[in-house]
Amino acid sequence: MARFDLPRRVLCALVLFCALTPLRASAEAVTMWVYHNFPPFVVDAEARSGMSFALADMLTERSGGQYVFNVVVLPRQRLNDQLRAGDAGVVLWGSPLWFGDADRSRYLWTSALVEDRNDVISPRAAPVAYDGPGSLDGSTVVGVKGHRYPGVDERVTAGNAARLDVSSEAALVQFIANGRGSVGIVAHSAAAYFVHAYALEDRVHIAPAPHSTYERYIMVQPELAAVHGFIEDVWPSLAGPPC
């Protein structure tokens, strides 16, 4: 199974990151929401381990005391509630399509951080051949509550397919592995991790054709335009040069 790989320059920056500089008392706190609660994005939330925490610390350090970025791990549905309530913050590892912002007019989006894809998975005993959203017509597609699946969601709305939501990526992979669902859609980074972590290689089939490929960004609310500008200015120096 292919691994989820970061660009080498990003890996180098994360590995080489070291001590933070002292913060001024006047540093502005910025909430960084993360709803991808699985490696490599979140390895151990209590220990502040994973790419999300490393990126937050790097941005805090580079701001020279102007900002302190605080990671908050939460489910996607609760994030949706936070956004509807107008709470201020930024969202890590998102994509415009997942937030109904294909034209990028509702939110501010940074340059792309990493590439990923959504896999279509099924029980290995009954593998599903995926060839576009229409190939799932007549199926009940398992997804993660609060997540959007472009193309498939439209088929569900039209009554061509059904959708069943579970609470997390880990639950989705186990749900399919146990034969409780016939087909599911999950980020490749999550599928690769949980299939390996739970030794499910002989129970889960991953279709060769992905549901979608995409780039992950940081989504910033319009009222935090200065934060967006800072991240855009500093990101090239965090991402490179290669080592």
What tokens were used for 82?
């936070």
Domain spans in the chain, listed from the N-terminal domain onward: 8-114+214-239, 117-213
Question: Which pLDDT score, from 0 to 100, does residue 7 have?
Answer: 55
Q: Cα–Cα distance between 53 and 200 in angstroms, integer?
A: 28
> Residue 179 gets which letter from DSSP?
T
CATH number of 8-114+214-239: 3.40.190.10
Q: What's the number of CA atoms in the CB half-sphere (13 Å) around residue 30?
A: 29
Q: Cα–Cα distance between 27 and 29 in angstroms, integer?
A: 6
Q: Cα–Cα distance between 138 and 6 in angstroms, integer?
A: 36
The pLDDT tens digits along the chain (243 residues) read 444 555 555 555 554 444 344 445 589 999 999 999 988 899 999 999 999 999 999 999 999 999 999 999 999 999 999 999 999 999 999 999 899 999 999 999 999 998 999 999 999 999 999 999 999 999 999 999 999 999 999 999 999 999 999 999 999 999 999 999 999 999 998 999 999 999 999 999 999 999 999 999 999 999 999 999 999 999 887 765 443
| Phi, psi values for residue 235, rounded to 5° | -55, -45
Please, which residues bridge with residue 28 across strands? Answer: 67
Cis peptide bond prior to 241, omega within 30° of 0: yes
Query: Does the fold of domain 117-213 match that of domain 8-114+214-239?
Result: yes
Q: Cα–Cα distance between 161 and 174 in angstroms, integer?
A: 22
Question: Which pLDDT score, from 0 to 100, does residue 1 have?
Answer: 44
What pTM was estimated for this model as a whole? 0.76
Q: Cα–Cα distance between 89 and 54 in angstroms, integer?
A: 18
Second-level CATH architecture of 117-213: 3-Layer(aba) Sandwich (3.40)
Which residue, among 81, 84, 90, has the nearest Cα to 108 in the 3D structure?
Answer: 90
Token pair 């592995």 is found at 177
- List, in sequence order, every beta strand (DSSP E) within 36-139: 67-73, 90-94, 108-109, 114-123
